[in-house]
Amino acid sequence: MANHAVVVDHLCKTYVVPVREGGVRAAVRSLVRRQTRSVRAVDAISFAVEPGEIIGFLGPNGAGKTTTLKMLSGLLYPSGGHVRVLGHTPFRRERDFLRQITLVMGNRHQLVWDIPVLDSFERNRAIYRLEPGAYRSVLDELIDLLELDELLAVPVRNLSLGERMKCEVAAALLHRPQVLFLDEPTIGLDLTMQRRIRAFVREYNLRYGATVLLTSHYMADVEALCRRVVVIHHGRLLFDGDLDELVQRFALDKTIVVELADGGCDLESYGRVLESAEGRVKLCVPKAETAAVTGRLLSEQAVLDLTVEDPPIEDVIEQVFAGELA
């Protein structure tokens, strides 16, 4: 356990939220008797992360992903269970701990709105008490990796969303943290910027051996960066393992793409037709019947080409969350 970067043991977070029916009568009643209910946002989840690992947190809105990251970074006090990050208890927020982690939230900024980006970086340099030489060297690297050169002298309010996000990421990494908590780091960015941020995270991980815990609604982020995923739903851990294993375990179907010599032919008897155009048909068949259906297609049809694919990861995840397979 001592070698793990992150250890989470039966971690829980319960929020007490006020509840009230609509209408004036309920509003008046709530003055006298305020009703609340407990919402268990994270329910006894356990996992461990090795140093240098990149893991993705998957789950629909309200699943508990962000709450988990906030507890791991020390922002929230857990209702139960234990967390250790780099040997520290996050909630104590010891300086030594805070100097080794960072939390990047896609919708939150730590840059000062009205002053040039470089001034915000300078402020972080002072707060993290970085030596000028070390700071300059990290900054040069970040400028190079994220192509920030043109942005440093621009006030933050004049940056585009993508440019601001790059600067946010740079500001969060000036102290060269060992553990990165990235909560929707590519939210709202165009595809080019998403790819650039992904490439940067990968490069940072390789260069410094940093541990990365990432949540994203974009499967492309997770597929590009994470071999391992943790699936959370209703605060509970549904799956913890390789992305490939997730597909193997939860995908009920396979997709067969077949190209026929004689053009349009009705293949409904083989499986559910997903697409059909110009002799190319995409079929969805139960995983257990894939071999048999493939054999029948090859023997009964004039097949020019045939491939068997796993369904898109988004579909598998959707199935998991829909409770069809959980």
Partner 1 sequence: MSGLTGVYWTLIRTALAEQLQYRAAMVIWLIGRVVQPVIYLAVWTIVAQARGGTAGGYSVRDFAAYFIVVMMVEHVTFTWNMFEMEYRVRTGEFSPLLLQPLHPMHRDVARNISYKFLTTVVMLPTCLLMIAFYEPRFELAAWSLAAFALALPLAFAMRFFLEWALALAAFWTTRVAAFNQLYFLALLFLSGRMAPMALMPEWLQTLAYWLPLRWVVAFPAELFLGQLVRAEAVEGLAMLGGWTVVSWGMLALVWRCGVRRYAAVGS
Q: Which residues bind partner 1 (CB under 8 A)?
A: 15, 70, 73-77, 91, 93, 95, 98-99, 101-103, 105, 107-110, 112, 114-115, 119-120, 122-129
Which residue number, 129 or 287, has a Cβ lying nearer to partner 1?
A: 129
Which residue number, 214 or 260, has a Cβ lying nearer to partner 1?
A: 214
E strand or H helix at 303: strand 303-309
Q: How far apart (Å, rounded) are the C-alpha atoms in residues 169 and 104?
A: 7
Q: How far apart (Å, rounded) are the C-alpha atoms in residues 326 and 318?
A: 11
Q: Closest separation between CB of residue 247 and partner 1, Å?
A: 32
Q: Closest separation between CB of residue 70 and partner 1, Å?
A: 5
Q: Are 215 and 40 in contact (CB under 8 A)?
A: no
Task: Copy the structure tokens of residue 235.
Answer: 């605060």
E-only strand ranges, 4-151: 6-19, 35-49, 54-58, 80-85, 101-105
Q: Closest separation between CB of residue 112 and partner 1, Å?
A: 6
Q: Closest separation between CB of residue 97 and partner 1, Å?
A: 8
Which residue number, 167 or 238, has a Cβ lying nearer to partner 1?
A: 167
Q: Closest separation between CB of residue 219 and partner 1, Å?
A: 24
Q: Are 256 and 285 in contact (CB under 8 A)?
A: yes
Which residue number, 129 or 296, has a Cβ lying nearer to partner 1?
A: 129
Which residue number, 91 or 218, has a Cβ lying nearer to partner 1?
A: 91
Instruction: For 217-227, give one letter per residue: b (16+ CB within 10 A) or e.
Output: bbbebbbbbbe
Strand partners of residue 283: 256, 273
Quick check: helix, strand or coil at residue 89? coil
